[in-house]
Structure 1
Amino acid sequence: MYLLDTTSTAAISIYALLSTAYKSMQVLYARPVDGPAVSAEPVETRPLPAVDVIVPSFNEDPGILSACLASIADQDYPGELRVYVVDDGSRNREAIVRAHDSYSRDPRFSFILLPENVGKRKAQVAAIGQSSGDLVLNVDSDSTIAFDVVSKLASKMRNPEVGAAMGQLTASNRGDTWLTKLIDMEYWLACNEERAAQARFGAVMCCCGPCAMYRRSALVSLLDQYETQLFRGKPSD
């Protein structure tokens, strides 16, 4: 027993030491640095990239989807903006019908109704296949975005060395319980430490799904792998 206790204590101590070292390095490398110049050409003379916003939806609450689309419609982005709302074979089409009724006269909005549920990835791919913008912004149907999100992300993407950018995530119910506060804290750490530190090495492992923008050329080159990705030998959707 004594040997087991000693081994357990040593393992926990080593884990704590490594975790502390990892977090310390993460904080250090998350500090902002001066990046490469976006382009020698003045920003004013370069055309703004066209942005396609893709919103996959499955059995979403009508009010929540409406709030999501309203936040996208209210973007201040001065360039071309198109929105593709994909209903992924919902059993109840009320949300998508209500959304269509609200935005059918808005030329920026297109609606895609899939005959059956195929999963988020394939729903996104269906919209990507119909879109043509320079940049693709994925937004979850239960998320709302600030009015300047597209402008800020597109500004970051003006740097040709950037293949993807993500927004700062905030839990809308963060004030409800201690658990939602912890979830919101995890969002903050993921955006402002983990991804920021990884970006210093040009190797961000993941852009959070609720609000992530990709350069189309980079996205299309990996689209087949994205759509058919497996986890433990099974489709990841």
Structure 2
Amino acid sequence: MKKQKVIIYSVFIVFLLLIVLLNMKSSTQHQMISVYGGIMLAYLMFKMVLAFNYKHVEKDFDTDKKVSVLVPVYNEKTELLMETITTIMQQTYPIHSIYVFDDGSSDTSAIEAVEAYKLTLGSEAEKIHIYKSPVNVGKRMGQIYGIKRSEADFFVTVDSDCFLHNNAIEELMKPFNDPTVYAVSGHVIARNRKVNLLTTLIDMRYENAFRVERAAQSVTGNILVCSGPLSAYRREVLVDNLEKYESQMFLGAPVQYGDDRCLTNYAIQYGKTVYQSTAICETDVPESLSKFLKQQVRWNKSFFRESIIGLKIGFKKPFVLFWIILELGLWLTFSIALILGVYYQVTNFAWTLIFYTICMSCLTAYSRNVFYIIRQPFLFLLAPLYGIIHMTCLLPIRIYALFTLRDKKWGTR
């Protein structure tokens, strides 16, 4: 472990120094880009220092507490749903109940497989509660179905295509030893990461999102998003906000997505929201660019919507305000810098700015993804490719999402 830390720290310092040198060079050529580079450098250093100081909770949690797992399902593949249910049943932490809600699937083979599996469980079968909705009512209603019927002290939310490591929920519960913790996010890995280049890059992005972003936010006591594939909440967080969750409106339209960030915002108002790196689940990620971009549209809509809501919470939670302002501010600064940079390039043929932008993207990509060098040292070299996707695809997608916030279509189903 110490050797791994030395490698991670050393690699980070090398790329950090290169970023400093690049930014010093650019300051003599274009002030706007230099300002963005300086802000980005300071933010990167601050976030990485926090992430390096993150520690998971090791103390065991009381197994007498009742835990219910909520599993909404819609047209899921049979093998994926079965893997989700069986890995939940095999957890080292005792599970009180599992609520499987089929949301009006046109293909019912997956839910029928769960029904058949339930018949083989004997006395354990009573833990699994299955409901088949005649119509599609949305993921939230699937979760609400279980919340209303369960007596659990804690609720765990999972997606219907997740593979939970056998101690995932045991690890997920440990941070609740602190009575001020109201929600915990697990660590998510892309199960199909070896399918193609895109899934590999998404897996690398997940590693950064959890090992760096959530780890850093967790040190401050308030992560902004408890991940949908694996998170846990105290009962009061969900029960007390059930009516708001069921009927949430934004800009006059009902909200159908972004449940993870919405629930996290509820939890933040009660206390701490943290990340537990040892609670691991694997989930499938989009294997085609079109599905990936549709997913990003949905995620970015919830990012803007819940960030606006989070700003109100932030006046009582300084670190929440800090993280939201930085997220929104850096995106806005980058967008302005890029637009002005493009204009400057076109009018003055300053092609060196293109070189600077590419170099900065590559170096920051390597710096943010240093944890991946331990898992996949050779694939770590591909880190800048996600930055290229971000500039060419995700920046326009985020702008599109901002101007279509009222559109409630799910997008990837």
Q: Which of 26, 29, 39 lines up with 1:18 in the alignment? A: 39
> What is the aligned-residue identity percentage?
33
Residue of structure 2 equivalent to 1:87: 102
Separation (CA, whole Å) in 2 of partners of 1:231 and 1:197 = 29
Letter in 2 for 1:75: Q
User: 8 Å contact 2:68–2:154 — kept in the other structure?
Assistant: yes
| CA drift at 1:206 | 1.0
Separation (CA, whole Å) in 1 of partners of 2:248 and 2:238 = 14
Letter in 1 for 2:136: N
Separation (CA, whole Å) in 1 of partners of 2:56 and 2:203 = 28
Separation (CA, whole Å) in 2 of partners of 1:19 and 1:126 = 43
Matches for 1:136-215 after TM superposition, within 5 Å: 136-215=155-234
Separation (CA, whole Å) in 2 of partners of 1:121 and 1:75 = 25
User: Aligned with 1:175: secondary structure?
Assistant: coil
Matches for 1:118-137 after TM superposition, within 5 Å: 118-137=137-156
Q: Structure 1 residues 228, 202: CA separation in 2 closer, same or farther (over 3 Å shift)? A: farther
User: 8 Å contact 1:49–1:154 — kept in the other structure?
Assistant: no
TM-superposition CA deviations, 1:115-170 (whole Å, max 9, x none)? 21111111111111111111100010011110001111112222211111111100
Aligned length: 225
Separation (CA, whole Å) in 2 of partners of 1:82 and 1:133 = 8
User: Aligned with 2:107: secondary structure?
Assistant: coil
Moved more, 133-142 or 223-232: 223-232
* 2:129 is the alignment partner of 1:110: yes
User: Aligned with 2:162: secondary structure?
Assistant: coil
Letter in 1 for 2:91: Q
Matches for 1:69-80 after TM superposition, within 5 Å: 69-77=85-93, 79-80=94-95
Separation (CA, whole Å) in 1 of partners of 2:83 and 2:56 = 35
Gaps in structure 1 of 5+ consecutive residues: 1-5
Separation (CA, whole Å) in 1 of partners of 2:237 and 2:204 = 30
User: 8 Å contact 1:49–1:80 — kept in the other structure?
Assistant: no
Task: Provide the aligned C-alpha RMSD in A.
Answer: 2.5
Residue of structure 1 equivalent to 2:84: 68
User: 8 Å contact 2:67–2:96 — kept in the other structure?
Assistant: yes
User: Aligned with 1:156: secondary structure?
Assistant: helix
| CA drift at 1:103 | 1.2
List, as ranges, runs of 4+ consecutive aligned residues in structure 1 with deviation greater than 6 Å. Answer: none
Q: Structure 1 residues 194, 233: CA separation in 2 closer, same or farther (over 3 Å shift)? A: farther
Residue of structure 1 equivalent to 2:253: 234
Higher helix share: 2
Q: Which of 51, 55, 58 lines up with 1:30 in the alignment? A: 51
Q: Structure 1 residues 88, 180: CA separation in 2 closer, same or farther (over 3 Å shift)? A: same
Letter in 2 for 1:156: P
Structure with larger RCO (C-alpha < 8 A, sep 6+): 1
Gaps in structure 2 of 5+ consecutive residues: 1-26, 257-413
TM-superposition CA deviations, 1:48-102 (whole Å, max 9, x none)? 211100100001111111111111111111x343111110111122111111111
User: Aligned with 1:163: secondary structure?
Assistant: strand
User: 8 Å contact 2:54–2:218 — kept in the other structure?
Assistant: no
| CA drift at 1:33 | 5.8
Letter in 2 for 1:89: G
Residue of structure 2 equivalent to 1:59: 75
Residue of structure 2 equivalent to 1:101: 116
Letter in 1 for 2:113: R
| CA drift at 1:9 | 4.2
Q: Give the TM-score taking structure 1 as reference length.
A: 0.85
Q: Structure 1 residues 174, 224: CA separation in 2 closer, same or farther (over 3 Å shift)? A: same
